[in-house]
Structure 1
Amino acid sequence: MYITNSAPYILYFAVSASIAGECTTIKMAGDIEYPPVTWQYQQDKTKIRGLALALAEKAFAEINVKIDPLHVGDWAKAQLDTKQGKVDLLAGAYINEERKVYMDYVHPPFLTDPVVLFIPSKKAYNFKFSQWQDLVSLKGVTTAGSSFGQEFDRFTEQHLDIEYKAQMDDTFQQLLSGNADYLIHGLYPGLASLTKAKLSMQITPHPKYVTEEGLYFGFSKKSPCKKHLNFFSKKINQYVKQKLPNSLVKKHFELWKEDFHLKEF
């Protein structure tokens, strides 16, 4: 009697579980100030654009899964939403232990990203940097949620004084006002942000890299879409061997310039 009456409920929960495990659309987020990888799309500011999106769309079109490239907020918010499962896929992340807790990385990295120090141009000649230890007595600034690789993050936590700001424009203000000695950031998006802010003559990158890290995709451990991890890893490995991501860098810088109506970069 009870078994018969409970059958519809069993069927209901089985169907619900099946629906919950489906992944027909992948909600993807990234840094809204990291061209050419990801940036806020100016024609639809609820979305992001960039070469990371191009790679994801190309791969998942093969299995009829759509990508929804969402602007959820700044980089720190994008990571939080991934951690909470509100976002399925995070694009453009370095590897660190904190992210490994809530995210399954897609290997290999789709690009390598030089990390550099940006300094006021008028101080560039006298700015001495050859090793991380040289930064210990200085004041740094970067954007909220930034990570620069596990080893450097550990060094930062133990030895460096770095302030975290919500937007790149805020970091430039800190630097030019003298409240910071250096800005640490990815080289290419840093140069792009300087161009957009029309500060390319006032702020310059130091020629020596701080580090060079891989940029990865990562699935939220709470997302049903993580079932596509192996598939996406195989596709990214294929694209990297074909050097497809590198070939998209220039094209997406051009698209970024068009979005922001910039003539120089």
Structure 2
Amino acid sequence: MPALLLCQPATAAAGCTRLLASGNPEYPPYLWVDPNDSKRLVGAAADMMQLLSREVGIPISVNYAGPWARVQKSVRDGRVDLIAGAFYTQSRRQYMSYIQTPLTITRTAIWMRDSKPLNYNHWLDLVGYRGVTVVNNSFGEEFDRFAEHSLNIETVGSVENALRMLSLGRADYLIYEDAPAQAYASRLGLQNLKTANGTITREALYLTLGHQSACFSDALYQRLNKAMKKLVDSKVMEQLIEKNQQRWREENR
């Protein structure tokens, strides 16, 4: 992991009285919009932010800040302090710092229709087919570079739209993390989709601190690092994921 780029004095943390976090709002069991309050996000990552808040002694609100692309822009502009779940890329590293201990490791899968399965074992097997994914999504820098130069992938605004496109035959495959895509496919009642046996990537999902945040400082970064390592080492994230998988199922019966 590249060294932290320090661009504000350590004294900023002392005057930091609250932090605003957000993230991908279509990412169950990690994050989704609270059905009882459209301004909030709930899920395993949101629950982790509350535990983190207690550890660092600063209130953390986890709010809906729009679609995933807008969330990233809000961090670049300093309107959101933290992203509760992002993959590492060099471009994102220019405007936010990654807390060193990841929240979890996720699997990105190839989704396809039962009636038109792909024989997928390697990235090259996708060449010549029509893909779809969500705008501003990253699946690791190596795959992102390969996809840009070798694949035909359309981007849309939401995973629900992407799943519908695949189900209706307007795309041959969908690239998305397995747990969130499965959650939305089940909610939409799309029973003609499945994942390929192979995996696109396994990527660490990180908490990040925006460089334009009014609270950004080396002191806060180190506090977040220490607290996150303690929480992850305690295996609490596994419990939160299981709890929120059940919560999602109950909300979408």
Query: Could you say whether these structures have the same fold, taking a TM-score greater than 0.5 normalized by the shorter chain as the test?
Result: yes
| Per-residue CA distance 1:100-156 (angstroms, 9 max, x = gap) | 0101111121100000011011223xx111111111211110111210011111111
SS at match of 1:78: helix
Q: Contact 1:21–1:224 at 8 Å: present in 2 too? A: no
Query: Which residue is equivalent to 2:18?
Result: 25
Query: Which residue is equivalent to 2:162?
Result: 171
Q: Contact 2:22–2:63 at 8 Å: present in 1 too? A: yes
Count of residue pairs brought into register by the alignment: 241
Cα drift, residue 52 of structure 1: 1.1
**Residue number among 105, 116, 119 corresponding to 2:112 in the alignment:** 119
1:110 corresponds to 2:100 = no
**Under a length normalisation based on structure 2, what TM-score does the superposition of the two structures give?**
0.90
Cα drift, residue 195 of structure 1: 0.9
Separation (CA, whole Å) in 1 of partners of 2:34 and 2:19: 18
Q: Which amino acid aligns with 2:95?
A: Y
Which one has a bigger Cα radius of gyration?
Answer: 1
Separation (CA, whole Å) in 2 of partners of 1:230 and 1:157: 35
SS at match of 1:206: strand
1:79 corresponds to 2:72 = yes
Q: Contact 1:30–1:75 at 8 Å: present in 2 too? A: yes
| Per-residue CA distance 1:10-51 (angstroms, 9 max, x = gap) | xxxxxxxx8997221111111111011111111001110111
Separation (CA, whole Å) in 2 of partners of 1:91 and 1:116: 21
Query: What are the within-5 Å matches in structure 2 for residues 12-161 of structure 1?
Result: 22-124=15-117, 127-161=118-152
1:243 corresponds to 2:235 = yes
Separation (CA, whole Å) in 1 of partners of 2:195 and 2:125: 16
Percent of aligned pairs sharing the same letter: 30
Distance 1:85 1:96, change over 3 A: same
More helix, by proportion:
1
Separation (CA, whole Å) in 1 of partners of 2:239 and 2:151: 36
**Under a length normalisation based on structure 1, what TM-score does the superposition of the two structures give?**
0.86
SS at match of 2:199: coil
Cα drift, residue 179 of structure 1: 2.0
Distance 1:135 1:67, change over 3 A: same
Separation (CA, whole Å) in 2 of partners of 1:98 and 1:207: 30
Q: Which amino acid aligns with 2:208?
A: G
Query: Which residue is equivalent to 1:4?
Result: none
Separation (CA, whole Å) in 2 of partners of 1:119 and 1:180: 9
**Residue number among 226, 239, 249 corresponding to 1:257 in the alignment:** 249
Which ranges in structure 2 are unaligned for 5 or more consecutive residues?
Answer: 1-10
Q: CA RMSD in A?
A: 1.6
Cα drift, residue 247 of structure 1: 2.0
Q: Which amino acid aligns with 1:27?
A: L
**Residue number among 195, 199, 210 corresponding to 1:205 in the alignment:** 195
Separation (CA, whole Å) in 1 of partners of 2:81 and 2:198: 36
